[in-house]
């Protein structure tokens, strides 16, 4: 049976098994994209990470799961590509004092569920767990991603990456320096 979320292209809808195959392919492509997103963060390839975003793409981390928009709202992150570039340049500056100590992250992304797929876009939610080492301290962050992806001829581009931290409302022991 064709999945509700499978693309509605005529070829895919022709037979149930073709639809299933195309759904599996999409699931695979989306997962690979999400893994790459996380890997670029963990390997600190900041510019390549920013390039995953559409020209008007937004990275958003609300402080509260009830928020439905970043506009006019307090936000832990609400960055367009210009602000992302500021953050990247800061991270790379030799005098970013707090970035000098040994620092690294490790993301695991899972539970990838496609919510909606059209020929133009795919909406997908997933879960992540991030371990961060800074100096001698380890911190854990976990939560959910929600990606609104644009389909382009070069693959997916992020229109919106929403990051809901499970611990968003808890006090932050120290701050977040890079995107999660």
Partner 1 sequence: MLQETIPDLSKFVEPDRVRREVYVDPRIFELEMQRIHERVWIYCGHESQVPKPGDYWTVRIGRQPMVMVRGADGRVHVLYNRCPHRGAMLCGDQHGNTGAFFRCSYHAWTFHHDGRLRNIPMMESGYAGTRLSRDNPDCHVKPAARVESYRGFVFASLAADGPTLAEFLGEARVAFDDMCDRAPAGEVEIVPNCFRVVQHSNWKIFLENQLDALHPSVTHQSAGRAAHEVEKEIERRTGKAPLSYHMLSAFATVTIDKWDAFQTLNYPYGHCLLTGYMGLRPRDPDTLAYEAALEKAYGKKRAEEILSVNIHHVLIYPGLSVQPQLQQLRAVRPLSVDRTLTEIWHFRLKGAPEAIYRRALAYYNLVNSPSTMINADDLENFWKCHQGLASAGGDWVSFHRHYGRDVEKDGVVSSGPNMGTSEAPMRNQMKAWVQYMTAEK
Would you count residue 102 as binding partner 1 (CB under 8 A)? no
**Member of 4, 89, 116, 140 binding partner 1 (CB under 8 A):** 89
The length of the chain in residues reads 180
Whichever of 121 and 144 has its CB closer to partner 1, that residue is: 144
| R_g of the chain computed on alpha carbons | 18
Question: Closest separation between CB of residue 78 and partner 1, Å?
Answer: 6
Whether the CB-CB separation of 117 and 6 falls below 8 Å is answered with yes
**Member of 16, 56, 74, 115 binding partner 1 (CB under 8 A):** 74
Taking contact as CB under 8 A, which single stretch among the options 9-17, 68-76, 107-115, 119-127 is the one that binds partner 1?
A: 68-76
Question: Rounded CA gap, 63 and 161, in Å?
Answer: 14
Number of residues that bind partner 1 (CB under 8 A): 33
Question: Rounded CA gap, 141 and 177, in Å?
Answer: 13
């Amino acid at each position: 049976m064709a999945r509700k979320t499978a693309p509605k292209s005529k070829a895919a809808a022709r037979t149930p098994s073709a639809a299933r195959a195309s759904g599996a392919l999409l699931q695979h492509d989306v997962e690979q994209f999400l893994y790459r997103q996380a890997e670029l963060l963990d390997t600190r390839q900041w510019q390549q990470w920013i390039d995953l975003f559409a020209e008007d793409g937004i990275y958003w981390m609300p402080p509260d799961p009830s928020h439905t928009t970043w506009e006019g709202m307090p936000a832990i992150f609400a960055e367009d590509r210009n602000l992302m570039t500021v953050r990247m340049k800061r991270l790379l500056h030799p005098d970013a004092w707090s970035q000098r100590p040994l620092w690294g992250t490790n993301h695991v992304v899972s539970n990838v569920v496609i919510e909606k797929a059209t020929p133009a876009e795919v909406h997908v939610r997933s879960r992540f767990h991030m371990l961060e080492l800074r100096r001698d301290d380890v911190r854990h962050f976990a939560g959910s991603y929600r990606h609104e992806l644009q389909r382009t001829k070069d693959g997916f581009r992020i229109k919106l990456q929403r990051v809901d931290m499970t611990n968003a409302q808890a006090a932050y022991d120290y701050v977040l320096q890079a995107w999660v």
